[in-house]
Amino acid sequence: MEISKLDKLIKPSGTMAISNKARELKSQGKPVIGFGAGEPDFPSPEYVVEAAKEAIEDPKNHKYSPVAGLASLRNEIARTTLEYSGFEIDPNNILVSNGGKQAIITCMLAILNPSDEVIIPAPYWTTYPEAVKIAGGNPIFIQSTKEQDFKIDVDMLESVKTDKTKLLIWCSPSNPTGVVYSKEEADAIYQWVFDNNIWIMSDELYEHLVYEGENTPSPALIDKNLNNTLIINGVSKAYSMTGWRVGWLIANNEVMGLAKKIQSQATSNVSNVSQLAAESALKNGLDVTKEMKIAFDRRRNYAIKKLETIDNLSVVNGSGAFYLYVDVNFYCTGKFLNINSSEDFCNWLIENYFIAFVPGEVFGTNGFMRLSYALSDQELEEGLERLATAINDLNG
C-alpha cells in the first residue's frame, strides 16, 4: 500500500541519528565520547526536580490542562521574555509546546501554504528544512561561507527573493556554527524582512549563551506588534532541561489562533509535570545558566586552542551557543583512505576512535563537522586528543 510522498521528501534528524549511534556503541561497551547532540552535560537544577516531584503528587496535574500551556507558566514566560529579551508580550500570545521542535513545526503549519518559499541560511539546524517540507513549503537555501563567518546579508537575501517568498528562518546565536550576528548586521536583515513584508521566525533558544560581545537583539524589539515576527524559545539549553520537552512559540493573535487549533488536534497540553518544572526554572533566575556558561566558555576556549594545533583543521570563532563548526575539507577529498565527504570523515572517526561529531551534510554544508562543547572538561580533552591522534594517523 502507498504511503505519503513525505517519505521521499524528508530525512530523519541527523543530530538525533548521531546521538543514537553514540548510544548504541556505548551500550556495546565502546568508550564513546559524544561531541554530537547539543545537550548540556549538567543535570537539571535541583529546584526544577523538586518542582516536578511536587507536581507529580498533585492529582490536579494528572488531568488535561489548557492546550496553550498552564497560565502560571505562560505568565512566567511573558515576564522573563520582557526581562531578558526586552519585549512585552501578552501571555495569550504564547503557545507552550513539546520542545522547540514542536513549536517550529506548528509555526510552519500555521504560516505556510503549498509551494510557499522559505529562505534558510546554510549552514542551518537540521530540522528547519524538514519542518518546512512537512508543512508543504519549499526550502530555499542561501549558502554563507566560512570566509563570511557563516553570515548572510541583504544582498544574498535579495538574490533569492521571489513573489513566493513567505518566511526567513533566523537563528542567532547559530546552531550549528555558534556565530552571533551584531545588532547592525541583524537590524539590516530585519529591515529587509519588514520592507518586503515577509515573515521571520527567530529561533532564540541560545539567547543566554553568548561568550563575547553582545547577543543579537530579537526582531520583536522592532516589530513590537509581531506583524511579521514569530519567536521560538524554550528551557532545554539554558536550564539543561533537554529531556523535559518544553519550548514555546510567541506570535500575534491570528497565528496563535491557528497554532492553538493545530496543537489542540495534535497533542493537547504538554505534560503538566514538565510545565511546572519549566516554570520553576524560569522563576529561579539565571544563576545556574551563568555557572554553565562559565564552563562552556572554558571548554570553548580550550577546544579552539586545541583545534589550532591539529594539522589542516580550522574553525570560525563561534562566540555563542555551544558549537564550533570545524572545517575538515582537507581530509574529505578522497586522498585519505576512502574519505570523500564530511559524512565519511565523521563515520571514520566514530568507528575507529569512538568520537562522535555531526557531519556538515546534516546542516547543508559538506566539508565541515559540528562539535558540541557541552560535554565534561575531561571528555572534551580526551576526545580532542583522540581527534589529534586520528589526524596524525591519517597523515601517516
Interface ranges with ligand GLU (CB under 6 A): 13, 15-16, 37-38, 101, 125, 127, 175
> Least CB distance from residue 337 to ligand GLU, whole Å?
27
Q: Which residues contact 179 (CB under 8 A, 6 or more apart)?
A: 149, 150, 151, 172, 173, 316, 318, 319, 320
Cell of 97: 509546546
Rank residues 68 and 321 by Cβ distance to ligand GLU and give the closer one. 321
Nearest to 346 by CA among 363, 360, 365, 364: 360
42 secondary structure, DSSP code: S
45 vs 99 by CB, closer to ligand GLU? 99
Shortest Cβ distance from residue 14 to ligand GLU (Å)? 8
Query: Taking Cα atoms as reference points, which of 250, 352, 368, 240 lies closest to residue 313?
Result: 368
Written in H, E and C, the secondary structure of 303-332 is HHHHHHCCCCCEECCCCECCEEEEECHHHC
Q: Say how far residue 45 (Cα) sits from the centre of its chain.
A: 21
Q: Closest CB to ligand GLU among 237 and 260? A: 237
Strand runs labelled E in 265-310 = none
The whole-angstrom separation of Cα 95 and Cα 160 is 31
Rounded to a whole number of angstroms, the minimum distance from the CB of residue 363 to ligand GLU is: 9
- Smallest gap from Cβ 358 to ligand GLU, in A, equals 7
Min. distance of Cβ 389 from ligand GLU in angstroms? 25
- CB of residue 38 to ligand GLU, shortest distance in Å: 3
Angle (nearest 5°) at CA 270 between 265 and 276: 155
- H-only helix segments in the chain: 6-9, 14-27, 46-57, 71-80, 99-111, 127-134, 154-160, 183-195, 253-266, 272-283, 287-308, 342-353, 377-395
**Which CB atom, from 98 or from 228, has the smaller least distance to ligand GLU?**
98
Q: How far is the CB of 236 from ligand GLU (least distance, A)?
A: 7
Residue 358's DSSP bridge partners are 370
Does the N-terminal peptide bond of residue 45 adopt cis geometry, omega within 30 degrees of 0? no
> Which residue, 91 or 178, has its beta carbon nearer to ligand GLU?
178
Select 175 or 216, whichever has its Cβ closest to ligand GLU.
Answer: 175
> 15 vs 144, which CB is nearer to ligand GLU?
15
Instruction: Give CA–CA dist 351/230, Å, rounded.
Output: 41
Instruction: Give 73 or 205: the residue with its C-beta nearer to ligand GLU.
Output: 205
CB of 279 to ligand GLU, least distance (A): 22
